[in-house]
Amino acid sequence: MAEHRIWFDCDTGVDDAIALLTAHRQPGLEIVGLSTVAGNVTLDHTTENTLKICGLMGADYPVYPGAPGPLRREREDASSFHGADGLGGAVLPAP
C-alpha cells in the first residue's frame, strides 16, 4: 500500500499535466481519483486533457468532471497562455 493516497483535482492544462505526470511516477503516492474543473480552458477540454494524460501514462484512474465554472464569478480563460485546447496544441492520442 502507498504511503500517501491522494485525490487530484485539476483544470488540466500544461501545468497540471506536468503535475499529474510527476505524481503518477512518485513512489509512495497512490492516486485514487481525479476530478476536473473549468479553469485554464472549458470543462470539456480539461476533462478530455486529463483522460488523454491518463492514457499516455497507461493509467486507469477514475476521472470525474466537476464544476463548469467558478461559483461566485465569471470564469477567466487562460487559452492565450495554454492554447485553445489547454495543452498548447500537443497532439495526444484520443482517450
The string of pLDDT tens digits covering residues 6-56 is 999 999 999 999 999 999 999 999 999 999 999 889 999 999 999 999 999
Domain holding 46, by residue range, is 4-69
Instruction: Judge whether residue 5 has pLDDT over 80.
Output: yes
Contact of 94 with 57, CB cutoff 8 Å = no
pTM value? 0.92
d(C-alpha 31, C-alpha 10), whole Å: 13
Q: Flag whether 88 is in a domain.
A: no
Q: Would you state the pLDDT for residue 70?
A: 86
d(C-alpha 30, C-alpha 64), whole Å: 17
Instruction: Judge whether residue 3 has pLDDT over 70.
Output: yes
Residues carrying an active site annotation: 11
Q: Flag whether 14 is in a domain.
A: yes
Q: Flag whether 56 is in a domain.
A: yes
Q: Flag whether 93 is in a domain.
A: no
Is residue 1 very low, low, confident or very high in pLDDT (cuts 50, 70, 90)?
Answer: low
d(C-alpha 75, C-alpha 79), whole Å: 12
Contact of 54 with 61, CB cutoff 8 Å = yes
Reduce the DSSP state of residue 81 to 3 states and report it: helix
